[in-house]
Structure 1
Amino acid sequence: MTDKKTLVLVDGSSYLYRAFHAMPDLRAVPGDPTSPATGAIRGMINMMQALRKEVVADYAVCVFDASGPTFRDALYTEYKATRSPMPDDLRSQIEPIHQVVDLLGWKVVAVPGVEADDVIATLANAAAAQGMEVIVSSGDKDLSQLVNEHITIIDTMSGKRRDVAGVTAEFGVPPALMVDYQALVGDTVDNVPGVTKVGPKTAAKWLEEYGSLDNLIANADAIKGVAGNNLREAIASGQLALSRQLVTMKTDCALADYIPGLPAFDDITLDAPDNEGLLPFYEKYGFKGLAAAIKGASAPAATAPTVAMPGQSGDLFADHSASTVAEEAQHRTVVYDTILNWADFDQWLERLHKAPLTAIDTETDSLDEMRAQIVGISFSVQPGEAAYIPLRHEGPDAPAQLPLDEVLARLKPWLEDPKHPKLGQHIKYDRHVFANHGIEVQGYAHDTMLQSYVLEVHKPHNLTSLAERHTGRKGISYEDLCGKGAHQIPFAQVPVDKAAAYSCEDSDQTLDVHNALWPLLQADDKLRFIYELEIASSEALYRIERNGVLIDAPTLAAQSHELGQRILQLETEAYEIAGQRFNLSSPKQLGEIFFDKLGMPVIKKTATGARSTDEEVLEKLAEDYPLPAKLLEHRSLVKLKGTYTDKLAQLALPRTGRVHTHYAQAVAVTGRLSSNDPNLQNIPIRTPEGRRVREAFVAPAGRVIASADYSQIELRIMAHLSGDHSLLHAFHAGLDVHRATAAEVFGVEVDQVTSEQRRYAKVINFGLIYGMSSFGLAKNLGIETKAAAAYIDKYFQRYPGVKQYMDDTKAAAKSMGYVETVFGRRLYLPEINSPNGPRRAGAERAAINAPMQGTAADLIKLAMVAVQKELDAHKPDIKMIMQVHDELVFELPEGDVDWLKSHIPRLMAEVAALKVPLLAEVGVGPNWDKAH
């Protein structure tokens, strides 16, 4: 046991810049670019809280640079002259950052005339002299000169630790020589001159050979070559002496006015956070989650008695504001029941029948919705009241439970009655779980996950986050209950009392979150429409997932065998070209063969300075060298085999012989669906081998596969949004839009457009939708950047409406902080007003593209819902089995092909009235590939 004290010194100036550049462009009023910036403040809070958890400290100081010049500016007027001025958005956040760091319990210090590094050096040396352990938290390498057996530098963002060994390994010199090293190398960031043309390797070599800068200077005449001349010139001119002064940190700063009592450190103990001060601060700057966490911590503890309550329920559709719901939730005593007998069950069943809305949550034995079996069910019909029915808990202490089959039989009429509105968090999963037990739930009116997805697409949508964000409630986590990793137990082994508290809380919180979010959706007609579309899409997707698609395992096995043979052949060919065997997946070995043995040019380097052999480099080198081309083909085939031909049959559900993908609704900010286990949207179809995978998606005997695909949907949406006369004409006249574009750009008649010109026009059409620059277009077409820029200029001359749309959309995005689809889905762009140029440019590209991608996502969802309704009414034997991008895939009896070809394209075209006609095309075949 040791009583050695620890001092933590935070380089606040380093922290605040990193916080500013790491965080999005947050505002006190979200979406309002005129509102004060808060991103750096939020990032600073995150970093200080993380550091506090990571490092135990007795004393702590956060040191910032003070405004105004320092002694180094007097020494050298060009010191830091090349630095860009502090962005205004960061400057405005400095004072509140100082304030919040102080409220978080840290001593805040900023000393005029010196830099934060000097204050840190003074404090670190003083503490180390008293035998303390000193930890400096900074990403600044210059502080490495302070390191010794008592002082260590840590970088919490990168995980890097600079102790004596770490500094020596990183720079090639020990910490004691870091001032000498820095003086020689100089610093381009701070504009410290150093010795011309002397880099890290030369500096480390000289210091290793001569032992110190003074010895090096004494032996400068012995240094040969240009570097020696530059060294002698730097010595003679005084430049080297100046550099040494500039990089040497002061260790004797006068700090008595800032930290009374030094050399004692009693004034800088790390204090507990000042929650009374933090709460109004968080509320002022819009940090609702942080404010809610403080309120939650001070709320009275909830109790969970197991006594049944009277069957009383309030109006859950009342117009609660989010703040009212949060206030009520935090100060409520909850009543959670555990149902272990029929009398309690009947009482709760009666409450379910009378309730205007019931939140349901299932506890299961699997996350795979097609395999999951129920372990227990919870319900909540009124805020603060819920019940749990344990059904399959096991273990020596598990109580006698009601029989699963009988409970489900008694619940089934209520569950399948659409007149009883139901609520859930991710209702599609629970639909599957009940269906696994033969129950087709009807009446799901609301899903809190989808409510959040529509209202706040850029935030997390899990129940834990929603409850904390909107009600201030922090609940029991699944890991708290079941453990983690290899030690995690099945839910069935969780003690019933703990399982009841957890499951009841989930249903209760779901009801609370709904009461906070639903009024917000009701108040906005466009968002309510999108939400209702998501609810309807959830039901259609449940049907698609349930249907699944039949997989032909022998076809996949044959493809895997062929791919395996081709992979082996490619390896042999690669060895022959290289003249040796090597590991095709080893970047180090590839670098040696490419650049050392075969003399290929180095295209780019990795962050660590290694010669890159990533895919982009391989594609560039493949233009001139055969080996990279072989490796690209090898990588694509290995991925295709491992991801699809080997695994698809394994993913098929044994009882159906089909794969049942999972469609995630609440992921993509544009509204697009994502598909996983298996991912049906990423099957590579640009290669013959990739396209062949779709041959294994088949129909059973007597049935066929049909594919209905929107034609050029995003270009049609661009025509609608821009209102450009030429684009509108092309689609209304039924022209080939790429050929029409080529005619406009190249100034020829439509019937004179060559295939190469059409290809160029197609790249231009789609490239501009995705915000492609002239550089990107040039790279894509293999032409000069100047020629690509000329094509873009010509395009905008011929399609001025498109240019106007792009300009107007960027301006609107900057004003509102978001863009909208045709139907009103909001697509937030937190970086649209960022001072960071590349981030802002990326947000501007997204502002142009997102309304098109988002509108396309809305259209396919509208089509999916309309088509499923039509099938249910007229052709229940036709099954929708996949939704992939802008395509719906069906399995149907051969006799229904004509009906589908007639009705489905019409339905898909009629789901919305745009300024151009929508067109859907249908293909039919024995498998998915042949249906295209």
Structure 2
Amino acid sequence: MNKLVLIDGNSIAFRAFFALPLLNNEKGVYTNAVYGFTQMLLKVLEEESPSHILVAFDAGKTTFRHDTYGEYKSGRQKTPSELSEQLPLIREVLDAFSIPHVELANYEADDIIGTLSRQAEHKDWNVKIYSGDKDLLQLVSDKTTVAMTKKGITNVETFDVQAIDEKYGLTPEKIIDMKGLMGDSSDNIPGVPGIGEKTALKLLHEYGSLENVLDSIDAISAKKMKERLQENQNQARMSKQLAVIYRETPIDVELDKLKRAEYDTKKVTDLFKSLEFNSLLSKFDDEEEEQQDFKEIHFETVSEITEEMLASPSALIVEVPSENYHRADIWGVALVNKNGRFFVPQAAALSSDAFKEWAADETMEKYMFDTKRAVVALGWKEIPLAGVVHDMQIASYLIDPSVSSHSVSDIAVRKGLRVVDTDEAVYGKGAKRARPEEHALAEHLVRKGEAIFALENQLEKELKDNAQFELFSQLEMPLSLILGKMETTGVHVDHDQLENMGVELNEKLAQLESEIHELAGTEFNINSPKQLGPILFEKLNLPVIKKTKTGYSTAADVLEKLEGQHDIIPKLLLYRQVSKLNSTYIEGLLKVIHPETNKIHTIFNQALTQTGRLSSTEPNLQNIPIRLEEGRRIRKAFIPSEKGWSILAADYSQIELRVLAHIAGDEGLIEAFQKDMDVHTKTAMDVFHVKEEDVTSNMRRSAKAVNFGIVYGISDYGLSQSLGITRKEAQEFIDRYLASYPKVKEYMDDVKDEAREKGYVSTLLQRRRYLPDITSRNFNLRSFAERTAMNTPIQGTAADIIKQAMVDVSKALEDEGLESRLLLQVHDELIFEVPENELHKMTKLVPKVMEETMKLHVPLKADVSYGDTWYDAK
């Protein structure tokens, strides 16, 4: 017996969209409706095993029913763009499964389903319809059943003739009579006002049909109901007519052509991988997939490296599992190339002259994962690394920096190759992390190499498709080698100086504690909010700003609002700042000085931030606070590693504002930088319409706040808080600023439009940031995405420029044969240690190279200074 399954595509997609939270893949494409629809489809295929199948969709907003009633479906809210964007993807899923889908102009999916179900009944086929629309219950017969979606998406309630009778006490064809009486708000079918499902059923149980109800109005005793029926007879008849599914549409579909076809498993799994439906992939682990995914992998463990193993190109894995990998043990090396797969234990690799020569040979191309980590690990063993042309981690990061994990295993799964397990699965997690036995370790490293080698072409193609290959190959790849060298070099720290600072800070804390107790009139634990709260808000009667479940809030933002109310507040704020300096930076830095080198070897994270900025960890040397003199003085402990050398600092001047001037093309900002004016003074002149000599310090301060805040979406509230003015005054200032610099406003509008159209924004060097929330219905999410769209091209381009400067300066040092070393990158600043005989040359060379790194409509400007310590260099 043939069995035809008909699916109401729009209805199931709609139910899926609202049943599941918004999901999106790494490209920022929404997928929740596709995922829910696919779940339902898989359930149908598995449980129904239909011989024939079709999915029907609505063709458009207008149908023949609008000729009868122009307001048909007019009350519906506009379909969310997050859903409408997914309908083409649902069709792609159906195509992958070789399932036919149709739509017909001027008709609804219901009409197509009604037509085909009648044709199938005439052939004596069984029919099952899947929908979330009760209208389709009118199609139920001894041959046709309807599965209605309930809560969720895959949970359904199936109706046959008996089930409709049990639930409604009606035959299926009387469903339209019920709709005629009660109407349908979802389709804007009016029905009879005041009559709901319960009353409609009562009338139909008594009179049998809508027509009989209307013919028997005089016999109805309830006065109000009688009046409503009397006044709305024509509307009731029209409503019934609108609810009737038309079963003779001119659909050009032959039932026999709907026979369920075989589908290409690979086509389905490829689509699921692109959509990131990883949980659904397991359903397709047939024998073919088993062979492809986690198939047995053949490799050799070798005790001696031969030239045959060192082909070009090769995937090279240097496994250093420690989080802080400086001076850490190398667990092993894996090589994957055209000649085979090889695992090399540490001893064999480090003792091999052939491997050392190959590693340092720039002509021998290497594919890697986390090149910088390998550069450092091998660097400690005095093995230089060169010739790295591909880094899987960096490629994945550039393709989409919003993805939470760029591990080999996660990248491989996202790109459709499940060949390698996670590090956690092999090594364990947290305290249980340990080196596995040799064969398991060897296989895991070789599998990593296999994934890197196999996916290099695919990742490179994606980079080229995104116009990002130059960013990858000319900037990020050489930078990874430079960062590795910087990490290995480290920064020399004066241990005694730090300890002395710690003593001074402890004395300062003791003094502040005494002053705070005196102002409070009692002794208490300053670090205890439970003790501090009552002192401030009960004993000293300061106004309560905020309360928590445990009492008064004494958070920093609360104390800042109380400044000026009592002399104790600035003392408390200073106490907290000094305390943090001591614990985080003095004690923290002392703990991470390397015992063998007397240096701090920070780790630069190259594939972490969505803006492209480098970050620094273990320890974070980019966040040493310099607003307080005590914080600035911490930099005194950072000194050259050679006697007679100096620390040289070079930083870009107002780089983000210069990038804004270039990207926005605003003549006013461009003029300011081309004439080397003080840009904040120039802004104050333009906004307040005054001459340069009439610009007051307050005017300049206001201009500076807006200059730095405008592309971060600064609000009237934010500016009012920053400047201590009213929101009205702040908004007036923002309006005047945008009127003075119209191209900035134009840029802000255009970049948001671009983000909405593309789903991402780009820097000048094509670094992307995806913004899936740019079209969100949630105001807060959408607003944050809009602010991000405005500032990412600015902040990201500034990050690209400082990175490119690192590459250019490093090349210049090498070309000039200089001994000077690049030590740190801190925001827009580069820090070097320089021998005395190179100081004059470096003060000229570094700013020149930095200023020529990228050609903009405005000149880049780099300021340089030097001294005996990092502190003195500023």
Q: How does 1:162-173 map to 2 (within 5 A)?
A: none
* Counterpart for residue 632 of structure 2: 691
* Counterpart for residue 299 of structure 2: 336
Distance in 2 separating the partners of 1:17 and 1:601: 46
1:625: how far off?
3.1
Distance in 1 separating the partners of 2:37 and 2:539: 49
* Counterpart for residue 754 of structure 1: 696
Stretch of structure 1 that moved more, 526-535 or 439-448: 526-535
Secondary structure of the equivalent of 2:344? Answer: strand
* Counterpart for residue 645 of structure 1: 586
| Unaligned runs of at least 5 residues, structure 2 | 1-13, 40-75, 98-129, 136-147, 156-262
**AA of the residue aligned to 2:357:** P
1:87: how far off?
7.8
Distance in 1 separating the partners of 2:493 and 2:568: 36
- When residues 525 and 405 of structure 1 are mapped into structure 2, their CA distance, relative to the original with a 3 A threshold, is closer
1:39: how far off?
4.6
Q: How does 1:86-485 map to 2 (within 5 A)?
A: 88=80, 283=271, 287-290=275-278, 293-294=281-282, 297-298=285-286, 330=293, 333-340=296-303, 342=304, 345-346=305-306, 349-352=307-310, 355-364=311-320, 366-382=322-338, 385-391=340-346, 403=348, 405-406=350-351, 408-459=352-403, 460-473=405-418, 475-485=420-430
Secondary structure of the equivalent of 1:911? Answer: coil
Q: Is the 8 A contact 1:356 1:421 kept in 2?
A: yes
1:647: how far off?
2.4
Secondary structure of the equivalent of 1:20? Answer: coil
* Counterpart for residue 109 of structure 2: none
1:770: how far off?
1.7
1:286: how far off?
5.3
1:844: how far off?
0.8
1:760: how far off?
1.5
- Residue 571 of structure 1: which of 506, 513, 517 is its match? 513
Q: How does 1:781-860 map to 2 (within 5 A)?
A: 781-860=723-802
- Residue 683 of structure 2: which of 720, 741, 748 is its match? 741
Q: How does 1:477-876 map to 2 (within 5 A)?
A: 477-489=422-434, 491=435, 494-606=436-548, 611-699=552-640, 700-876=642-818
Deviations 1:98-117 (A, max 9, x none): xx9xx9xxxx998999xx9x
Distance in 1 separating the partners of 2:313 and 2:360: 14
Q: Is the 8 A contact 1:881 1:891 kept in 2?
A: yes
**AA of the residue aligned to 1:410:** A
Aligned residues: 667
Distance in 2 separating the partners of 1:739 and 1:508: 58
Distance in 1 separating the partners of 2:490 and 2:366: 26
Q: Is the 8 A contact 2:534 2:552 kept in 1?
A: no
Q: Is the 8 A contact 2:333 2:349 kept in 1?
A: no
Q: Report sequence identity in percent.
A: 36
Deviations 1:249-299 (A, max 9, x none): xxxxxxxxxxxxxxxxxxxxxxxxxx9999959947952352784377445
Q: Is the 8 A contact 1:454 1:527 kept in 2?
A: no
| Unaligned runs of at least 5 residues, structure 1 | 1-12, 47-83, 124-274, 304-328, 393-402
**AA of the residue aligned to 2:401:** V
Secondary structure of the equivalent of 1:410? Answer: helix
**AA of the residue aligned to 1:446:** H
Q: Is the 8 A contact 1:449 1:463 kept in 2?
A: yes
Distance in 1 separating the partners of 2:460 and 2:270: 25
**AA of the residue aligned to 1:488:** R
Q: Is the 8 A contact 1:703 1:893 kept in 2?
A: yes
**AA of the residue aligned to 1:639:** K
Distance in 2 separating the partners of 1:477 and 1:818: 30
Secondary structure of the equivalent of 2:21? Answer: helix
Q: Is the 8 A contact 1:296 1:473 kept in 2?
A: no
2:867 equivalent to 1:925: yes
1:510: how far off?
1.5
Q: Is the 8 A contact 1:362 1:378 kept in 2?
A: yes
1:821: how far off?
0.9
Deviations 1:511-551 (A, max 9, x none): 12323211222344444334431001111212221221111
Distance in 2 separating the partners of 1:470 and 1:921: 44
**AA of the residue aligned to 1:88:** P
1:43: how far off?
10
Secondary structure of the equivalent of 1:882? Answer: strand
* Counterpart for residue 884 of structure 1: 826
Distance in 1 separating the partners of 2:132 and 2:520: 60
Secondary structure of the equivalent of 2:796? Answer: helix
Deviations 1:200-226 (A, max 9, x none): xxxxxxxxxxxxxxxxxxxxxxxxxxx
Q: Is the 8 A contact 1:863 1:908 kept in 2?
A: yes
Secondary structure of the equivalent of 2:774? Answer: coil
Q: Is the 8 A contact 1:302 1:333 kept in 2?
A: no
- When residues 90 and 405 of structure 1 are mapped into structure 2, their CA distance, relative to the original with a 3 A threshold, is closer
Moved over 4 A (4+): 13-19, 39-46, 84-87, 89-97, 108-113, 275-282, 299-303, 608-611
Deviations 1:767-826 (A, max 9, x none): 113211111001000001111111111111111111111111111111111111112211
1:17: how far off?
6.9
1:656: how far off?
1.8
1:302: how far off?
7.2
Question: How high is the TM-score relative to the length of structure 1?
Answer: 0.66
Q: Is the 8 A contact 1:452 1:517 kept in 2?
A: yes
Secondary structure of the equivalent of 1:603? Answer: coil
Distance in 1 separating the partners of 2:830 and 2:519: 45
Distance in 2 separating the partners of 1:915 and 1:760: 26
- When residues 810 and 623 of structure 1 are mapped into structure 2, their CA distance, relative to the original with a 3 A threshold, is farther
Distance in 2 separating the partners of 1:433 and 1:112: 66
Q: Is the 8 A contact 1:31 1:817 kept in 2?
A: yes
**AA of the residue aligned to 2:612:** G
Deviations 1:24-47 (A, max 9, x none): 6x69xx457xxxx4357769999x
Distance in 2 separating the partners of 1:725 and 1:483: 58
* Counterpart for residue 177 of structure 2: none
* Counterpart for residue 38 of structure 1: 31
* Counterpart for residue 149 of structure 1: none
Deviations 1:571-615 (A, max 9, x none): 333333334443433333333333344333332355x59643322
Q: Is the 8 A contact 1:41 1:93 kept in 2?
A: no
- When residues 765 and 299 of structure 1 are mapped into structure 2, their CA distance, relative to the original with a 3 A threshold, is farther
**AA of the residue aligned to 1:335:** H
1:442: how far off?
1.4
* Backbone CA RMSD of aligned residues: 3.7
